[in-house]
């Protein structure tokens, strides 16, 4: 077992549709290849009315973690708290989520918690009736955060804002690029150079469409040792790319 992150680890993003699910699968695959027992927990899954597979289903197909669990599901493709209200379903309570994740942490070496949208999206309600976010969940669990970011224009501001919000909450964090393009342009390389001090990995665009066996064998090469990968020299990686 390498010296990577263990226990509960939040996977959040600078926006929605940014690659959180594929990054979650990549980390799960790399950690399992390193011999860890891995669980993946989705606190709030929305957009289930279409009947399409949920995020945990996608992670399970790609990475086959030991355990995959969704705590609450809502039909409408909205933020989880809004989706619960629209569907007249009970919102997810913060400490129920904390207890469920701690339960999995007792049985696994690594618990990846995939958020919904960005860091401050309303997820559910506290016992007081106040909304909570995945940032609050990370604080309650003492969990570090993987921030999934875009490769292209606009990513530096969005990433800096997310990292600043985490730093203010004393949540350790690193960045993974969710979809590194097959033919990167100047803006991508310049963004990469700015992100390197916080960078924990870069997953190639289209990785979610890979054969699962190829995905699992490839995942360690996309991530640094903190996430159980083998990528330890960004200059060499850039030259190879």
The residues annotated as belonging to the active site are 42
Q: Is 177 annotated as a binding residue?
A: no
Location of structure tokens 């997820």:
123
- Reduce the secondary structure of 168-195 to three states and give it as a string: HCCCCEEEEEEEECCCCCHHHHHHHHHH
The three-state secondary structure class of 40 is strand
Q: Is 22 annotated as a binding residue?
A: yes
C-alpha to C-alpha distance for 164 and 81, rounded to whole angstroms: 24
Q: Is 118 annotated as a binding residue?
A: no
Q: Is 175 annotated as a binding residue?
A: no
Q: Is 114 annotated as a binding residue?
A: yes
C-alpha to C-alpha distance for 240 and 202, rounded to whole angstroms: 13
C-alpha to C-alpha distance for 230 and 129, rounded to whole angstroms: 44
Q: Is 20 annotated as a binding residue?
A: yes
Q: Which two tokens stand for residue 70?
A: 């969704």
Q: Is 107 annotated as a binding residue?
A: no
Q: Is 117 annotated as a binding residue?
A: yes
Name the region of 35 (left: φ>0; alpha: ψ -120 to 50; beta: rest).
Answer: left
Q: Is 21 annotated as a binding residue?
A: yes
Binding residue ranges for ATP:
17-22, 55, 114-117
Binding residue ranges for substrate:
46
Binding residue ranges for Mg(2+):
21, 55, 114
């Amino acid at each position: 077992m390498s010296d990577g992150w263990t226990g509960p680890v939040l996977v959040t993003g600078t926006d929605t549709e940014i690659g959180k699910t594929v990054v979650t699968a990549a980390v799960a695959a790399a950690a399992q290849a390193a011999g860890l027992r891995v669980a993946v927990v989705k606190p709030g899954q929305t957009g289930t009315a279409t009947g399409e597979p949920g995020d945990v289903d996608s992670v399970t197909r790609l990475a086959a973690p030991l355990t995959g669990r969704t705590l609450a599901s809502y039909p409408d493709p909205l933020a989880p708290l809004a989706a619960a209200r629209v569907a007249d379903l009970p919102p997810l309570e913060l400490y129920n989520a904390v207890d469920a994740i701690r339960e999995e942490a007792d049985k696994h070496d690594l618990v990846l918690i995939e958020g919904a949208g960005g860091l401050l999206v309303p997820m559910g309600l506290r016992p007081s009736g106040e909304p909570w976010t995945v940032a609050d969940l990370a604080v309650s669990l003492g969990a570090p955060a993987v921030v999934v970011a875009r490769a292209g224009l606009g990513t530096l501001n969005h990433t800096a804002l997310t990292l600043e919000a985490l730093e203010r909450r004393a949540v350790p964090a690193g960045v993974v690029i969710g979809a590194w393009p097959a033919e990167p342009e100047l803006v991508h390389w310049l963004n990469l150079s700015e992100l390197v001090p916080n960078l924990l990995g870069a997953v190639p665009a289209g990785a979610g469409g890979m054969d699962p066996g190829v995905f699992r064998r490839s995942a360690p090469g996309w991530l640094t040792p903190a996430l159980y990968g083998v990528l330890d020299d960004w200059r060499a990686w850039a030259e190879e790319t």
